[in-house]
């Protein structure tokens, strides 16, 4: 790979081993609502997508509107689990501390959840203030908006950016933005075949460790 000017990290599933926490909370809530879906299916189909997109897709499948407080109850559940269960991806803090190339985060998570996860895992100050949520753009992943927004804020051409993403939606967004993309499969939600799914949507390479990311970037 050539030298890049900016590394854009997704957060959930790349820096935080959080995807299974969020997907389990979603699966439990939908099952209580009468639509049975497993944690694994939520992870496979919706990891990396904004909550609003997940709710819209599943409400369409269910055929009826979700309660007004549906997502707020899930958020309370996830926040509680963040404070007791959340762990950083192995090697993430070391990577962020040693990376010489400029870096930022571009995440589908809501700002409060994003900040909480980084604070709980002691990575907030390693990335502040270059932390961007899809709440800042019109369309979330798999659309490229958040990556283009982050590149603009960091004053970097998309062609000089490399994205680290764990989800199909995220890799799709990165490639649509005209960026190089490293697929990451080091999170606990990544099952057999996940690397191939990332390659199938355009990942330039796929790795399963933070050490491999550092060697590719620098």
pLDDT in tens, the chain (218 residues): 568 999 999 999 999 999 889 899 999 999 999 999 999 999 888 887 888 889 999 999 999 899 988 999 898 999 998 999 999 999 999 999 999 999 999 999 989 999 999 999 999 999 999 999 999 999 999 999 999 999 999 999 999 999 999 999 999 999 999 999 999 999 988 988 999 999 999 999 999 999 999 989 98
**Four-point Cα dihedral 110, 114, 117, 122, nearest 10:** -170
CATH fold of 19-85 reads DNA polymerase; domain 1 (1.10.150)
**18, two tokens:** 């959080």
Element holding 161 (H helix, E strand) = strand 161-165
- SS3 label, residue 186: coil
Burial grade of 32 (CB within 10 A; 0-12, 13-18, 19 or more): exposed
Which residue matches tokens 């000017």? 5
| pTM of the full structure | 0.87
**pLDDT of 1:** 59
Query: Is the Cα dihedral 162, 21, 169, 212 positive or negative?
Result: positive
- SS3 label, residue 104: strand
**pLDDT of 51:** 86
**pLDDT of 44:** 85
Provide the residue ranges of all domains of the chain, joining segments of one domain with +: 6-18+86-217, 19-85
CATH fold of 6-18+86-217 reads Rossmann fold (3.40.50)
């Amino acid at each position: 790979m050539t030298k890049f000017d900016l590394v854009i990290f997704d957060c959930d599933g790349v820096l935080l081993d959080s995807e299974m926490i969020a997907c389990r909370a979603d699966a439990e809530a939908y099952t209580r609502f009468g639509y049975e879906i497993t944690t694994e299916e939520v992870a496979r189909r919706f990891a990396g997508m904004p909550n609003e997109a997940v709710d819209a897709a599943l409400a369409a499948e269910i055929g009826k509107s979700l309660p007004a407080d549906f997502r707020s109850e899930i958020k309370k559940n996830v926040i509680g689990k963040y404070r007791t269960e959340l762990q950083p991806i192995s090697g993430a803090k070391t990577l962020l501390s040693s990376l010489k190339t400029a870096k930022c985060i571009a995440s589908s998570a809501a700002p409060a959840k994003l900040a909480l996860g980084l604070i709980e895992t002691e990575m907030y100050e390693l990335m502040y203030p270059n932390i961007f949520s899809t709440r800042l753009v019109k369309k979330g992943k798999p659309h490229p908006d958040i990556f283009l927004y982050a590149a603009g804020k960091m004053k970097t051409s998309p062609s000089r950016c490399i994205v680290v993403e764990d989800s199909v939606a995220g890799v799709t967004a990165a490639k649509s933005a005209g960026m190089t993309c490293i697929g990451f499969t080091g999170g606990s939600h990544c099952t057999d075949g996940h690397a191939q799914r990332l390659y199938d949507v355009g990942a330039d390479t796929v790795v399963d460790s933070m050490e491999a990311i550092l060697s590719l970037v620098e």
